[in-house]
């Protein structure tokens, strides 16, 4: 435990690196599942759709990365509003915000596409989907629940994990932002382990 608490910034940094690799893989798997669930038409039409689907992968990755960084900035501001240090521990708060954002925002952005304010039909449908999922919290199937539940669990875990900081125990593991980090990772892991076995027939490839 001492190795994790002696330098919270380093702990958060290494966890962030691991989460980047894990979430890129996970988001790719969920996106393939999304395609297989919605693909319709003849065998030739589905193959052509898959080619177009694969060609958008790197653009989606770029957009999802930018969206996640913007979400991290917003999360940082929200954390400060709710009591995170404003002028001290800036790096630790920023890294916590990044961890929360990559767990909550990256996969939906990669799978659904980043919401846009354009007036075309596709953008409007995309905005309505984001609103239904992450404002109304109304997923309709296993695929949507796989994106919504971990996102909700991430923020709930962060809030739950902040509670021990106020306790006057003066333990090293109470250093900011280790307890919110543990709450985020713990609750998200529980949600994922609960959702994953029933996520898709046949399990992971």
* Structure tokens that stand for 6 in this block: 């002696």
Packing angle, helices 121-134 and 142-161, rounded to 10: 50
For the segment 78-86, the average pLDDT, to the nearest whole number, is: 89
| DSSP labels, 131-149 | HHHHTS----SHHHHHHHH
CA 158 to each of CA 8, 76, 132: distance values in angstroms, whole numbers, following the listed order: 16, 12, 23
Least confident of 7-11, 47-51, 55-59, 90-94: 7-11
Which pLDDT score is estimated for 116? Answer: 87
For the segment 147-176, the average pLDDT, to the nearest whole number, is: 83
For the segment 151-169, the average pLDDT, to the nearest whole number, is: 85
Which pLDDT score is estimated for 202? Answer: 42
Is 184 in contact with 145 (CB distance < 8 Å)? no
For a pLDDT cut of 70, what percent of the chain falls above it? 88
Is 155 in contact with 105 (CB distance < 8 Å)? no
Which region holds residue 113: left if phi is over 0, alpha if psi is between -120 and 50, else beta? left
**Per-residue pLDDT at 152 exceeds 90:** yes
Residue 117 sits at the vertex; the CA angle it makes with 20 and 59, to the nearest 5 degrees, is 35
**Per-residue pLDDT at 103 exceeds 60:** yes
Q: What span, in angstroms and rounded, lies between the C-alpha atoms of 93 and 85?
A: 8
Which pLDDT score is estimated for 177? Answer: 84
**Per-residue pLDDT at 205 exceeds 70:** no
| Residue carrying structure tokens 């984001």 | 130
**Per-residue pLDDT at 160 exceeds 50:** yes
**Per-residue pLDDT at 168 exceeds 90:** no
What are 104-117's pLDDT values in tens digits? 999 999 999 999 88
User: Under 8 Å CB-to-CB from 160, ≥6 apart: which residues?
Assistant: 183, 187
Max mean pLDDT among 2-16, 31-45, 95-109, 189-203 falls in 95-109
Least confident of 84-98, 113-127, 140-154, 167-181: 167-181
Alpha helices (H) along the chain: 2-5, 8-38, 43-55, 57-81, 90-101, 107-112, 121-134, 142-161, 178-195
For the segment 56-61, the average pLDDT, to the nearest whole number, is: 93
What are 21-47's pLDDT values in tens digits? 999 999 999 999 999 888 887 888 888
Packing angle, helices 178-195 and 8-38, rounded to 10: 20
């Amino acid at each position: 435990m001492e190795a994790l608490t002696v330098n919270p910034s380093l702990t958060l940094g290494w966890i962030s690196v691991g989460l980047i690799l894990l979430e890129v893989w996970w988001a790719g798997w969920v996106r393939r599942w999304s395609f297989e669930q919605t693909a319709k038409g003849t065998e030739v039409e589905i193959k052509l759709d898959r080619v177009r689907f694969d060609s958008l992968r790197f653009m989606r990755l770029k957009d999802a990365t930018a969206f996640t960084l913007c979400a991290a900035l917003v999360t940082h501001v929200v954390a400060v509003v709710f009591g995170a240090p404003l002028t001290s521990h800036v790096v630790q708060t920023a890294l916590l915000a990044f961890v929360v954002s990559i767990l909550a925002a990256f996969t939906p952005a990669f799978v659904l596409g980043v919401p846009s304010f354009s007036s075309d039909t596709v953008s409007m449908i995309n905005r309505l989907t984001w609103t239904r999922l992450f404002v109304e919290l109304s997923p309709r199937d296993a695929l949507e629940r796989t994106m919504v539940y971990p996102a909700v669990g991430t923020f709930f875990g962060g809030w739950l994990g902040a509670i021990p900081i106020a306790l006057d125990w003066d333990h090293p593991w109470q250093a900011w932002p280790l307890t919110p980090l543990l709450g985020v990772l713990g609750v998200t892991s529980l949600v994922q382990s609960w959702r994953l076995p029933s996520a898709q027939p046949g399990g992971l490839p």
